[in-house]
Amino acid sequence: PFFVNRGGLPVDEPTWERMWRHVGRIHPEGERVAQRIRGAADLPKIPIPSVPAFQPSTSIPERLEAIQRYIRELQYNHTGTQFFEIKKSRPLTGLMDLAKEMTKEALPIKCLEAVILGIYLTNNMTTLDRFPISFKTHFSGNYFRHIVLGVNFGGRYGALGISRREELMYKAPVFRTLSELIFDFEKAYHRCWHTLKKVKLGHCVSHDPHSVEQIEWKHSILDLDKLTREDFRKELERHARDMRLKIGKGTGPPSPTKDRKKDVSSPQRGQASPHRRNSRGDRRPSGEKKPADSKAMPDLNGYQIRV
Amino acid sequence: MEPSGAGRKEKPKPREPAARLEKAKQKSAQQELKQRQRAEIYALNRVMTELEQQQFDSFCKQMQTSGE
């Protein structure tokens, strides 16, 4: 289960009790965890991290490192209860108010909260483009979702975020193309036995913290089961081009492809697909069952590698 | 004819300072509760982070063993 605190802070009693009940259910020591912590007089005092402030001379890559350190200092939230409610359809201004609250309250966060925080902390970096990148992966019979904040500085791509896994969050802005960045994430997923299934790429987010625009979370939706490797790369680069065009012209036209927000099942939607020979090696023929995991996952009491 | 109430001073409301004091007390209590909750949340997060790390490490070892 996935619990969200919807009542603001301090956490209200029903939500608080639900958090502890959940911990009691999932931790091997059960309720002893709660008994040790609740009401304890000697809990360590956790300082509130300072929001990074920069000299004008600090480079963008250095700022990104500092922002990532700040996000990391809040810690990944393993409690099972998310403390800040994020409604993705809210106008940017509302999400920025929430980000400000996150910096004031300084509690552990999860990936979506880190994206909102990343946007807030980079708003004054007008030469840095930010866009959300969402991943859907498969592991041991289940699907998992994760999101990071893609960044582009001077044509180099990177990412900010937070994850249970070190390799699935911060990426320094050194990748020459968007494809290289995404492939790096794919390899990182593979190293923890996750198979990448879908990537959703948002458009660049406004730098105006008072903007009433909504974040566009899924400008491109790429289904890896339906794309060859080369087509996947091409669609990623198409998205990168769309972002450049939109930035360059203000509201430039996207690359000429119909139904951009629908899943990409073939790269030539709305046009006659060119007949391909020997290019479907990466795709499963239709009607075939999904292959079983090539390695049987050891059963660790149903442990799932979450990201 | 003068409108009623014109020229009359409004009497100060005696409840205002008390209401303000009450509000300040509530705010202070709320702040204390938030601080307390924050301390417990981080203590809990430490325990749950350790659990997750142990489970992940065990899983990785098993994967290596089954791979060999």
Structure confidence at residue A280 (pLDDT): 35
Structure confidence at residue A270 (pLDDT): 36
pLDDT of A7 above 70: yes
- Give the tens place of pLDDT for each residue, A248-267: 655 544 455 444 444 454 33
- Give the tens place of pLDDT for each residue, B22-52: 999 999 999 999 999 999 999 999 999 999 9
Active site residue: A138, A146, A203, A239, which one?
A146
Structure confidence at residue A277 (pLDDT): 34
Minimum Cα–Cα distance from B63: chain A residue? A298
For the question of an ipTM over 0.90, the answer is no
pLDDT class for A306, splitting at 50, 70, 90? Answer: confident
Structure confidence at residue A301 (pLDDT): 55
pTM for the model: 0.83
- Give the tens place of pLDDT for each residue, A57-69: 999 999 999 999 9
- Give the tens place of pLDDT for each residue, A17-48: 999 999 999 999 999 999 999 989 999 999 99
- Inter-chain touch B43–A9, beta carbons under 8 Å: no
- Give the tens place of pLDDT for each residue, A89-121: 999 999 999 999 999 999 999 999 999 999 999
> If DSSP codes are grouped into helix, strand and coil, which group holds residue A105?
helix
Structure confidence at residue A304 (pLDDT): 75
Minimum Cα–Cα distance from A16: chain B residue? B37
Task: Give me the residues of B, 6-65, that contact A with CB < 8 A.
Answer: 30, 33-34, 37-45, 47-49, 51-52, 55-56, 58-59, 62-63
Give yes or no: A59 in active site: no
Q: SS3 letters for chain A?
A: CCEECCCCCCCCHHHHHHHHHHHHHHCCCCCHHHHHHCCCCCCCCCCCCCCCCCCCCCCHHHHHHHHHHHHHHHCECCCCEECCCCCCCCEHHHHHHHHHHHHHHCCCECHHHHHHHHHHHHCCCCCEEEEEEEEEEEECCEEEEEEEEEEEECCEEEEECCCCCHHHCCEEEEECCHHHHHHHHHHHHHHCCCEEEEEEECCCCCCCCCCCCECCCCCEEEEHHHCCHHHHHHHHHHHHHHHHHHHHHCCCCCCCCCCCCCEECCCCCCCCCCCCCCCCCCCCCCCCCCCCCCCCCCCCCCCCCCC
- Inter-chain touch B34–A10, beta carbons under 8 Å: yes
User: Average of pLDDT values for A51-62?
Assistant: 97
- Inter-chain touch B51–A27, beta carbons under 8 Å: yes
Question: What are the sequence ranges of the domains in chain A?
Answer: 1-38, 56-245
Q: With an 8 Å Cβ cutoff, is A9 touching chain B?
A: yes
Mean pLDDT of chain A: 87
Residue A100: which H helix or E strand, with range?
helix A92-105
Structure confidence at residue A244 (pLDDT): 92
Residue B67: both structure tokens together: 């791979």
| CATH number assigned to the domain with residue range A56-245, chosen from the 4 options 3.10.620, 1.10.287, 1.10.20, 2.30.29 | 3.10.620
Residue A199: both structure tokens together: 């990537």
Give yes or no: A204 in active site: no
- Inter-chain touch A298–B63, beta carbons under 8 Å: yes
Distance CA A221, CA A262 (A): 6
Q: With an 8 Å Cβ cutoff, is A77 touching chain B?
A: yes
